[in-house]
Structure 1
Amino acid sequence: MNLLRLSVPVVASVALVVGLAGCGAVGGPNETSGTIIGGVLGGAVGSQVGGGRGRTVATIIGTMIGANIGANVGRSMDGNDRMRTAQILESSRTGQSSGWVNPDTRNEYVVTPTRTYESAGAPCREYTMRAVVGGQPDTVYGTACRQPDGSWRVVN
């Protein structure tokens, strides 16, 4: 992947997603994080399609679709789901998947830490979350770092 070739469409798409995420702040931090993560990933995938203006359009469309998917997953999570995700990030081995079904919403989640590293003295983990929300399967990729208070915060 040539980052210089992708930079203009991806940067424009990320700016669009961040702007839209600010408008949807009522949905809370999970929805906003999901929107941003999904938008960035969707834009990156879309930027691989076509050339010239077609690539730019594909990047923007990919960003919008990814942002919507990410927002749906983030919006669907309640406090119990966030707590379970944090427990998995804290204690599961890299590559070990753990899942649950929320008894209230019937949404299903499977979280898999995919990489562990340290950043600014804090442990960080990349992860994949497969979710079935309202019967629709979605996949979200993200990175979270442990905060000084022991909680985990999504950083991208």
Structure 2
Amino acid sequence: MKLHIAISLLAIAILSGCSTTSGSKAGGALSSLTGGSKQAAPSGVLAALGNGLIGNNASLDASDRKRALQAEYQALEYSPAGKTVEWKNASGSRSGEVVAAQPYQVGSQNCRQYTHTVRVDGTPQSARGTACRNEDGSWTPLT
């Protein structure tokens, strides 16, 4: 029983240190830790990701790229640490999965490390990176 209370208090302490800089999206880090909503990201929020971790992968068409970036945004903004966010094109020939780590703060920004694995005709390619959350709710990859 004491262990459960200690773990709960530790979780509250961690969550209180993971705040966002935006008043309108103040639940971002908390939502990501608790399995928050799965909303479609506005195109402006996706634009901040640039090419994300998928880079300029010539095997992906525009709709694949959008699915892949949407999955990156979902993992960064809403997904609990270690949970996989998957995407797949209509034919199933191209797919991927994004896994984000625990959020942490750099100055006043929330940041997360994440991995994106893309599969083209069954062949996987993985990339790892870090992105930080902006005041407008978008995420910018660190280079």
Give the TM-score category using the shorter length.
0.5 to 0.7
What CA distance in whole angstroms lies between the structure 2 residues aligned with 1:120 and 1:111? 25
| SS of equivalent to 2:67 | helix
1:132 is matched by which residue type in structure 2? R
What CA distance in whole angstroms lies between the structure 2 residues aligned with 1:110 and 1:83? 11
1:72 is matched by which residue type in structure 2? N
Alpha-carbon distance, 1:116 to partner: 1.7
1:78 is matched by which residue type in structure 2? R
Give the equivalent residue in structure 2 for 1:10.
Answer: none
Give the equivalent residue in structure 2 for 1:128.
Answer: 115
RMSD: 2.6
| SS of equivalent to 2:124 | strand
C-alpha contact (below 8 Å) 1:122/1:146 kept by paired residues: yes
Q: Higher RCO, 1 or 2 (CA under 8 Å, sep at least 6)?
A: 2
State which of 61, 73, 76 in structure 2 corresponds to 1:86: 73
Mind listing any 5+ residue stretches in structure 2 that lack a counterpart?
1-49
What CA distance in whole angstroms lies between the structure 2 residues aligned with 1:98 and 1:139? 14
C-alpha contact (below 8 Å) 1:95/1:112 kept by paired residues: yes
C-alpha contact (below 8 Å) 1:34/1:72 kept by paired residues: no
Aligned residue pair count = 91
Give the equivalent residue in structure 2 for 1:148.
Answer: 135
Structure 1 runs, 4 residues or longer, greater than 3 Å off: none
Change (3 A) 1:105 1:72: farther
Identity rate, percent = 31
Q: Give the TM-score taking structure 2 as reference length.
A: 0.53
What CA distance in whole angstroms lies between the structure 2 residues aligned with 1:136 and 1:72? 13
| SS of equivalent to 1:115 | coil
